[in-house]
Amino acid sequence: METAAEPEPARPMLLILWHSRTGAARAMAEAALQGAVGEGDARLLAAADAHAGDILAAQGYLFVCPENLGAMSGAMKEFFDRSYYPLLVQIEGRPFATVIAAGSDGSGAERQIERIVTGWRLRRIAEGLIVNMQAQTPEAILAPKTVPPTALQKCHDLGQSFGAGLAMGLF
């Protein structure tokens, strides 16, 4: 008598949650996804489309957004606003990392995300990646962005290492 094979357990999934106004953060999120998919399951999701169930279904999070006026973008903040309390105590200990597209500094957005996910008790697994796009004039700030290949490679590598770490059970 043949026995049915046990279904393979689901692989941990990395959720890459992004928002972009000028294309830089989206390009960086897509580069991270390309790195992650070779290592395990990964999903790219716009912050405006994300819900608590999407977060619960993932085992790790990469938050990618621009810094606007010294803070994370409004769309990313709005995601955190509507998801914070529904997820409280449900995702404690899960790993996260951040990628920020900045005109110059980026540290304000980084600190803001760090404060929020501290309340969720997420665990940072990589130093924040801040890509300085050098946009200082109104025209440069509003213009579509092209991310330098070296920065995209760093995003790819972060996605790859995060995905591999999840797949191996390190995080």
- Measured distance CA(104)–CA(7) in Å, rounded: 49
- Measured distance CA(32)–CA(22) in Å, rounded: 18
pLDDT tens figures, 129-146:
999 998 888 888 888 899
Topology of domain 13-167 in CATH is Rossmann fold (3.40.50)
pLDDT of amino acid 134:
86
What's the Cα-to-Cα distance from 46 to each of 6, 76, 79, 106, rounded to whole Å? 34, 9, 10, 20
> What does residue 66 show for φ and ψ, rounded to 5 degrees?
-85, 160
pLDDT tens figures, 47-76:
999 999 999 999 999 999 999 989 999 999
pLDDT band, residue 86 (cuts 50/70/90): very high
DSSP reduced 3-state for 16: strand
Q: What angle do CA 153, 157, 163 make, to 5 degrees?
A: 145
- Measured distance CA(116)–CA(139) in Å, rounded: 31
User: Which tokens sit at 123?
Assistant: 């665990």
